[in-house]
Amino acid sequence: QVHLVETGGGLVQPGGSLRLACTVSGRTGRDYAMGWFRQVPGKEREFVVAMSMNGARRAYADPVKGRFTISKDNAKNTVYLQMDSLKPEDTAVYYCVSSRGNPILSTLRKVETYGYWGQGTQVTVSS
């Protein structure tokens, strides 16, 4: 059974940085994608970033380009989300996701691509 565990959320001032980590268990090989969505109360889940675990594809949402970076450590089955220059509008619950199959680039941003979700971690950007 696939299981995702997220760590690293918290409170940070505007302009600050945080790093989230997500470790996956129950998967084999590298033919799947992992990434992050976020959600604020009253709104739908929003795509943030995703990458294929074989490194072939990567996608970022426009609001986070140039500020957020996704990376992976295959040996640890972990993906990281480095978030820099954080803004109050980045405040949300961040969910780690993993796809069932090996999605193409055009589907990396779609919520229906991901069959596995973590429990979510709160990120609050406030002074």
Task: Return the CA Rg of the chain.
Answer: 14
Neighbours of 84 (CB within 10 A): 14
State phi, psi for 124 to the nearest 5 degrees. Answer: -125, 125
pLDDT, tens digit (0-9, with 9 covering 90-100), for 79-93: 999 999 999 999 999
CA pair distance 95, 31, nearest whole angstrom: 20
Asked if 72 contacts 123 with a C-beta cutoff of 8 angstroms, the reply is no
Query: Cα 69 vs. chain centroid, distance in angstroms?
Result: 10
**Would you state the pLDDT for residue 20?**
98
CA pair distance 54, 81, nearest whole angstrom: 17
pLDDT, tens digit (0-9, with 9 covering 90-100), for 25-71: 998 888 899 999 999 999 999 999 999 988 789 999 999 999 999 99
